[in-house]
Amino acid sequence: MPPKKKTKVPGNQPKANEQAKQNSNPPEEPTESESQSKSKSSSAAPGKRKAETKDTPSKAPRRSARGASSAQQPDPLKLINHLLSPASLDSCRPKDEIEDVQKRGKDLRTYSSSTFSPFEELICAVILSRPISHALGLRSIRTLFNEPHNFTTPKKIREAGFEPVRQALDEARTQHRQKTAEELVLLADAVVEHLGDGEEDVSLERVRRECGYDWPKEKEMMKTHVKGLGKTGLDIFARRIQAVWPKPYPFADQRTLSGLQKLGLPGTAEELKKLVDDLWTELDVKDFPGDEDEKKRRVFVQVLERAVGVDLEGNADAVRAEVTPKSE
């Protein structure tokens, strides 16, 4: 059977109507990309701090942890167990996602609560690194990965082509629909041709094999072949994929480190890993799959994800108050 042709992506078409639609949906709250930029700029006091290395975030800036400045600190065991429980979900979800889950049921696949394949995580990284709000990014992901679209494999995206992908983003009422649709179609082609083992493969194991399981090389390979995937997108991908790809672990991007500190948690990935290790026998981890090493990575990732979601939704103070011992 001859190889399938690349999906056609529109060229330079008039975008006036597209731009008008996008402008009708202004960002609702900070974006991951915007917040990471602000975090970096706020921590770069001239002449006082060393420049951060390109790939390894340093400690989050102490002054960013406004919520962590009170004398009464949260109980770290209670806080982490809270972040690992379903009770913390609504604190890190946009309002429209909470309503969507109530309407469509708990089986709805969401970025906040579902386990995604590496291919799906790569799609999410491209979407969430765009300058759109947290709510719009998560709504785009829900729309793409659920009925009636189910764009969860390279084959499904390639068979549908550009127009149905753009229409799905229209339904999500997000921004940058034309450009994002183009990038997702090109991503599916890149996975088939360079990053995966065929149209049905969602594991991206080819990336790991060809790079000798070397994380810096894996990042460079994905960046080379995936249009629209820059440092912010790779950070988002690394934050999640370390649950199943051990090499990046422990990793936390600057945006997430700031969110951790606002909750009163450690401000470096290594310190958070140590805290999880120290509390391990007291953490409620029975529902996490895998051996102990994988469980620890999955717990670490969930703490990161809930922390950054809580911060982006402006709920850090409320979560801290819930788990902070009351003064006598």
Considering only residues 86 and 53, tell me which one the structure prediction assigns the higher pLDDT: 86
Q: Is pLDDT of 39 > 60?
A: no
Scanning the chain, the segments in alpha helix (DSSP H) are 16-23, 32-42, 76-84, 89-92, 95-104, 118-128, 134-145, 154-160, 162-171, 177-190, 205-210, 215-225, 231-241, 254-262, 269-279, 292-312, 316-323
Which of the 8 DSSP states describes residue 327? P
Q: How confident is the model at residue 66 (pLDDT cuts 50, 70, 90)?
A: very low
Task: Quote the pLDDT of residue 72.
Answer: 76
* Residue range 157-204, pLDDT digits in tens: 999 999 999 999 999 999 999 999 999 999 999 999 999 999 999 999
Task: Quote the pLDDT of residue 242.
Answer: 98
The whole-number average pLDDT for the span 294-313 is 97
Considering only residues 326 and 40, tell me which one the structure prediction assigns the higher pLDDT: 326
Torsion angles phi and psi, residue 325, rounded to 5: -60, 135
Report the Cα 250 to chain-centroid distance in Å: 15
- What CA–CA distance (Å, rounded) separates 277 from 76? 12
- Local structure of 81: helix, strand or coil: helix
* CA proximity to 154, closest of 116, 198, 122, 194: 198
The whole-number average pLDDT for the span 286-297 is 96
Specify the residue for token string 């399938």: 4
Instruction: Give me the half-sphere count of Cα atoms (radius 13 Å) on the Cβ side of residue 30.
Output: 17
Task: Quote the pLDDT of residue 326.
Answer: 73
Cα torsion for 121, 124, 130, 134, to the nearest 10°? -120
Considering only residues 69 and 158, tell me which one the structure prediction assigns the higher pLDDT: 158
pTM of the model: 0.82
Considering only residues 64 and 318, tell me which one the structure prediction assigns the higher pLDDT: 318
Torsion angles phi and psi, residue 241, rounded to 5: -70, -20
- What CA–CA distance (Å, rounded) separates 306 from 302? 6
Q: Is pLDDT of 12 > 80?
A: no
Considering only residues 264 and 45, tell me which one the structure prediction assigns the higher pLDDT: 264
